[in-house]
Amino acid sequence: MSKIAIFSLISLIVSLFSQATLAAPSLVPSPPDIAAKAYLLMDYHSGRILTAHEIDARDQPASLTKLMTAYVVLNELKNGTIKLDDKVLISEKAWRMKGSRMFLKLKSRVSVDDLLMGMIVQSGNDASVALAEHTAGSEETFVQLMNQYAKRLGMNNTHFMNCTGMPEKGHYSTARDLAKLSQAIIRDFPDHYSLYKIKKFTHNNITQPNRNRLLWLDPRVDGIKTGHTEAAGYCLIASAKQGEMRLISVVLGTNSENARARESRKLLNYGFRFYETFKLYEAMKPLTETRIWKGTEEHLPLGLANDLYITAPRGQRNKIKAQMTLQSNIIAPAHEGQAFGQVEVKLDDTVLSKQTLVALKNVETGNLWRRLIDNIVLLFK
């Protein structure tokens, strides 16, 4: 056989092997074993949970509580009831707080901006109480706001008794609820989320590092919070971004600082390696249109109120199918945002998402002649 023939045969074999490799389905192994009482890995954009264990088990959230404290304070900043440059008088209660502190001085005045840094970066219990008292007058009143916001966010297995996470009867949360809260912080306050990646902060000439070791170990990680008490164990919520994909991991009840970092990395590595997230449909863009009767117009455009992101195993995007179900015999008037159907997205037999189809515009009731004609058509239809 000539050299040319041998080369051609080798090229054919390589080509066939490459095609077979490309055509092969993407394999997704089982999630790694995680040494924690409870854990969860969730895609930020789609909300899909990729792996989880005991995610609705109630337990002490320790300093992860401060995520809700920050969420309330940031909402009040957004509403204008407090300002970053407000000078907060440090009370005796805040000054006497035990546990992690930013070492505030009694009766000193510290800006809300610095207190946020002390609470988020240094996990200061004293800073948390000072912020709570400034925002709501007392920690007890502030805690009421925390529970109201928790209810609004759908944190159905969460109840707060304080703003710090110090152990107290009736103070609990879950991995699922804490993931929802973390998702809300990133979504609702993108300008302030950058606080969670700051590695150290100095107050009163005392410099303390952020306890989230992943900020040093993994360049993809840009937040969000650690927690630890004897009852809760070592806990960590981490968020990481790779390309356009962002993951949130929640690890509760590990046995050391090293363990919570190690187990969190295992989850994040698994998610980024074997899954991908992409935008399937854009918000407020027509996906379909349907007949509307007795209106000023005959057709009503339908779409989604929010962007629809899908998280699926890598290499499976072309297998994803979407099916729309529309309400029949829609009668005007129709109002923008009103629900008139549903889109269901599936990968094989697995439902990845179900979203409501809404009207993208208003269609008012038509004149007498239009209503009469459509009545006759509907009668025969």
Cite the active site residues. Answer: 63, 66, 123
Structure tokens at 107: 């009766």
Cβ-in-10-Å burial (0-12, 13-18, 19+) of 116 comes to buried
Residue in 270, 104, 312 with CA at minimum distance from that of residue 203: 104
Secondary structure (DSSP) of 42-102: EETTT--EEEEESTT--B--GGGGHHHHHHHHHHHHHHTSS-TTPEEE--HHHHT--SS--
Q: Which amino acid is at 267?
A: L
| Residue 109 dihedral angles phi and psi, to the nearest 5° | -120, 125
Specify the residue for token string 């706001």. Answer: 145
Structure tokens at 104: 């505030």
Pairing of strands 38-43, 245-254: antiparallel
Locate 166 and state its tokens: 């110090």
